[in-house]
């Protein structure tokens, strides 16, 4: 089958990683899977997929998230209005931006239907963003989710059936094998601490970064040499107020010199950063799945996660160090437990979840959609 997979951006976010890994796995299965995304930088996807990708021309945007979303929806519609760009059997949106574009194309009779993956559902103050999110779910002909929590949420809130496809991890890429890059990155980011904690996803409310900071400060009372590297944060949403509060709290914490805000890092560096870390800190209050947890465990790095779904769905009790995400002391205690652990082999969860298995779950529903088109 010829499958168009649409992401909201070319940046390294969980949904975009999922889109690229899905496209690669479908390609290996013999399908023609093409990843698409609006490209505001002209640099293309942060990681090159196996098959040629399509970067959609991104128009200038106005002020605010809603203006950006509206513009990106229009960019996608304009791209697919050209019949030469619609030569696919399946159209699959990974987010509300591309989902709304496909909903418009469907309403105009330009495509027969589309699938949509709901990685998680966001809360917005702007009703336009809420409406776009809802439309992308209700207009889809088939829905995928990456975890049971969102399957149940969509069933209860929207009375829609979904297929749980999960996520995966590339165990050939995220390994325990040392690289010369490890030493280079120690110097680049000033990683001379003991221990070194890593968070991925940037400073965001749903990542619980403020409470994680409180926990880190507590942890440094018994481990004054500890460092915390926060990587990522290339988001289309507005996190300015939360990030300003974090910076203020960081300056008042007395630990500013031990916290490294790396921002978006090159994709090639991520396996090495997981190897350099003594633990992954991820006490999120809301996640779709949390694919970086699998990437850390594939490197045999202990993980601290919230004792709530989706983590409780796919991680066995002994595969993580659990914390109450509303309690900084609980997070700090989990950090201490994680740093006392030595993982001698890759946990079984990294074998239970794979990108080929996720792709195979997609194919079954793709075939049903194609038969009805």
pLDDT computed for residue 306 by the predictor: 98
Q: Is residue 341 part of a domain?
A: yes
Q: Are 149 and 190 in the same domain? A: no
Calculate mean pLDDT across residues 138-156. Answer: 97
What are the residues whose beta carbons fall under 8 Å from the beta carbon of 268, sequence distance 6 or more?
181
Q: Are 24 and 68 in the same domain? A: yes
Enumerate helices (H) and strands (E) in the chain, giving the number of each: 14, 13
Q: Is residue 191 part of a domain?
A: yes
Q: Are 368 and 348 in the same domain? A: no
Q: Is residue 124 part of a domain?
A: yes
pLDDT by residue (tens digit) across 10-68?
Answer: 998 889 999 999 999 999 999 999 999 999 889 999 999 998 899 999 999 988 999 99
Q: Is residue 218 part of a domain?
A: yes
Q: Are 38 and 28 in the same domain? A: yes
pLDDT by residue (tens digit) across 179-206?
Answer: 899 999 999 999 998 999 999 999 999 9
Least confident of 34-43, 168-177, 287-296: 168-177
Query: Residue 247: is the preceding peptide bond cis (ω within 30°)?
Result: no
Q: Are 298 and 348 in the same domain? A: yes
Q: Are 35 and 160 in the same domain? A: yes
Q: Are 125 and 265 in the same domain? A: no
Q: How confident is the model at residue 373 (pLDDT cuts 50, 70, 90)?
A: low
Calculate mean pLDDT across residues 68-97. Answer: 97
Query: How many structural domains are present in the chain?
Result: 2
Nearest CA to 163 out of 112, 114, 115, 130 is that of: 115
Supply the CATH number for residue 294's domain.
3.40.50.2000
Predicted TM-score (pTM) above 0.75: yes
Calculate mean pLDDT across residues 221-244. Answer: 88
Query: Which residue do the tokens 């330009």 mark?
Result: 110
Nearest CA to 236 out of 39, 27, 42 is that of: 39
Q: Are 312 and 345 in the same domain? A: yes
Q: Could you list the residue range(s) of the whole structural domain that residue 89 is in?
A: 2-168+354-372
Task: Sort 108 into a burial class: Cβ within 10 Å, 0-12 / 13-18 / 19+.
Answer: exposed
Whole-number average pLDDT of the chain: 94
Q: Are 129 and 236 in the same domain? A: no
pLDDT computed for residue 163 by the predictor: 96
Q: Is residue 173 part of a domain?
A: no
Q: Are 245 and 290 in the same domain? A: yes
Q: Is residue 175 part of a domain?
A: no
Q: Are 309 and 325 in the same domain? A: yes
Q: Is residue 112 part of a domain?
A: yes
SS3 112: coil
Calculate mean pLDDT across residues 261-287. Answer: 94
Residue 85 has pLDDT above 80, yes or no: yes
Q: Is residue 174 part of a domain?
A: no
Calculate mean pLDDT across residues 316-327. Answer: 96
The rounded percent of the chain whose pLDDT value lies above 70 is 99
Asked whether 297 and 321 are in contact (CB, 8 A), the reply is no
Q: Are 341 and 317 in the same domain? A: yes
pLDDT computed for residue 99 by the predictor: 98
pLDDT computed for residue 175 by the predictor: 86
């Amino acid at each position: 089958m010829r499958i168009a997979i649409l992401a909201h951006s070319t940046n390294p976010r969980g949904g975009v990683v999922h889109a690229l890994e899905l496209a690669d796995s479908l390609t290996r299965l013999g399908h023609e899977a093409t990843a698409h995304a609006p490209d505001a930088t002209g640099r293309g996807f942060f990681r090159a997929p196996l098959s040629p990708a399509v970067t959609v021309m991104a128009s200038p945007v106005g002020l605010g998230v809603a203006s950006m979303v509206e513009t990106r929806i229009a960019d996608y519609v304009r791209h697919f209005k050209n019949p030469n760009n619609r030569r696919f059997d399946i159209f699959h949106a990974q987010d509300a931006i591309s989902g709304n574009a496909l909903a418009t194309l469907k309403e105009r009779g330009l495509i027969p239907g589309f699938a949509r993956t709901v990685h998680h559902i966001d809360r917005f103050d702007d009703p336009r963003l809420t409406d776009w999110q809802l439309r992308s779910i209700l207009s889809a002909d088939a829905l995928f989710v990456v975890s049971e929590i969102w399957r149940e949420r969509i069933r209860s809130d929207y009375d829609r059936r979904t297929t749980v496809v999960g996520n995966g991890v590339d165990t050939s890429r995220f390994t325990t094998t040392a690289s010369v890059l490890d030493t280079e990155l120690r110097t680049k980011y000033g990683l001379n601490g003991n221990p070194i904690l890593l968070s991925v996803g940037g400073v965001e409310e749903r990542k619980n970064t403020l409470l994680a900071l409180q926990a880190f400060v507590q942890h440094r009372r018994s481990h004054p040499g500890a460092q915390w590297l926060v990587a990522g944060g290339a988001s289309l949403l507005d996190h300015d107020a939360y990030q300003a509060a974090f910076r203020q709290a960081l300056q008042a914490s007395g630990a500013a010199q031990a916290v490294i805000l790396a921002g978006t890092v090159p994709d090639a560096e991520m396996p090495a950063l997981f190897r350099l870390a003594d633990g992954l800190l991820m006490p999120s209050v809301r996640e779709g799945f949390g694919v970086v947890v699998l990437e850390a465990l594939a490197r045999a790095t202990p993980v601290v996660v919230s004792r709530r779904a989706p983590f409780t769905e796919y991680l066995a009790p002994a595969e993580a160090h659990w914390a109450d995400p509303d309690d900084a002391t609980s997070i700090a205690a989990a950090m201490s437990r994680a740093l006392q652990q030595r993982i001698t082999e890759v946990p079984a969860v990294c074998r239970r979840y794979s990108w080929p298995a996720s792709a195979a779950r997609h194919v079954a529903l793709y075939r049903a959609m194609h038969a009805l088109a």
